[in-house]
Structure 1
Amino acid sequence: MDALFWCCLLFGALMALVTLIFGDGLGDAAGGLFSIDLHDVFQPVVLSGGITVFGGMGLLLHRYSELPGYGIYLLSVMGAALIGMGMYFVYVRPMRNSENSTGYSMNELTGMLAEVLTPVPATGFGEVLVKAGVGYSNHVAASFDKVDVPAGTKVVVVEVKEGTLYVSRMD
């Protein structure tokens, strides 16, 4: 019994150390292995914490309590699950929800407000500045209404076709 708990304690501590050093890369690799919706629960920090608590709690209960073997295993599993859930809800989940992404789809720009940087001629192309995601980006633009749109004009993106934003003046 002691050998199992010592192995779990040492393996969990080693896994925590490896997670600390190789954090994001290991988390992304492990996250890709799970196809269920709760894959964040299986993040290395949660797993290593649970395994370490299982080993440490099992050792302490075995040494300092009069519980039978199945009671020690049961309490150790319950303690590991409780600590693992705590780590998930206190650390992993808030960190996942706080991430900002700069990625966006061109189709998401439809309906967004923009400012003309390079004048958009009635039949040609110009350039607009659009707030997309957490930053701003420049895009090729054409006039949706087939009218000239001077620089500095506020416009709205009406549609996106083949990487070009078709814009119309804000009236």
Structure 2
Amino acid sequence: MQTLYLGCLALGVIFAIVSVLVGDVIGDALHGVFDFVSVDFLNPTVLAGGITVFGGAGILLTRYSALEAGAIIALSLLAAAFLGVLMYLGVVKPMDKSEMSNGFSMSELPGKIGEVTVPVPAKGYGEIMVKFGAGNSLHTAASFDHELLPAGVKVVVVEVRDGVAEVSEFEERKGEDL
């Protein structure tokens, strides 16, 4: 039994190290192959934590208690289940709820209002800053109307071509009926 406990403990520690070091690489390589198994409590973090605790508790109980093998297995399984539930409720579930992306797509740029940060010449490139959610993003820009746009001018993104935001000066209409 000692070998089983040591194996579980080692497996859990190795999984933790590998997932920290190359977790994103493996996830990108698999491209969501296992997304169909999306039961929340079968989260790899919870399972690896449970297996690690099972192994650690088994080793400790074997060495430092006078319990029978069956009782040690039962207590180790209970400790693993308890920690798994605790980990799920305390870490995994709250993290799912708090996940927020500040990413955007270039296809979302047309129609957005921005500000010129690096002057945009009539022919050539400058830079604009566009607000997305709570953050700002900087983009290479070209003048759609082939006019000079100095720094600080408000602009509207007309279209995106080859990764470059084509912009025109933003004119606010005041007092007109639309």
TM-score by length of 2: 0.60
Q: Give the CA deviation at 1:55.
A: 1.9
1:161 aligns with 2:171: no
Q: Give the CA deviation at 1:52.
A: 1.9
Which residue of structure 2 aligns with residue 41 of structure 1?
43
Q: Give the CA deviation at 1:154.
A: 0.3
SS of the residue aligned with 2:7?
Answer: helix
Q: How far apart are the structure 2 equivalents of 1:104 and 1:47?
A: 33
Deviations 1:136-166 (A, max 9, x none): 32412232xx373531210121321233323
1:118 aligns with 2:119: yes
> Which structure: greater helix fraction?
1
SS of the residue aligned with 2:43?
Answer: helix
Which residue of structure 1 aligns with residue 127 of structure 2?
128
Q: Give the CA deviation at 1:77.
A: 3.6
How many pairs are equivalent? Answer: 158
Q: How far apart are the structure 2 equivalents of 1:29 and 1:149?
A: 44
Q: How far apart are the structure 2 equivalents of 1:6 and 1:161?
A: 58
Give unmatched runs, 5+ long, in structure 2.
Answer: 173-178
Whichever residue aligns with residue 21 of structure 2, its letter is: G
Matching of residues 1-171 of structure 1 within 5 Å: 1-12=1-12, 14-15=13-14, 19=17, 24-31=20-27, 32-33=29-30, 35-37=33-35, 38=38, 41-43=43-45, 46-59=46-59, 60=61, 63=65, 65=67, 69=70, 73=73, 76-91=76-91, 94=95, 104-116=104-116, 117-121=118-122, 124-131=123-130, 134-143=135-144, 146=145, 148=147, 150-151=149-150, 152-168=152-168, 169-171=170-172
SS of the residue aligned with 2:54?
Answer: helix
CA contact (8 A) 1:128 1:139 kept: yes
Give unmatched runs, 5+ long, in structure 1.
Answer: none
The share of aligned pairs that are identical, in percent, is 34
Whichever residue aligns with residue 110 of structure 2, its letter is: T
What is the alpha-carbon root mean square deviation over aligned residues? 4.1
Q: Give the CA deviation at 1:84.
A: 3.0
SS of the residue aligned with 2:149?
Answer: coil
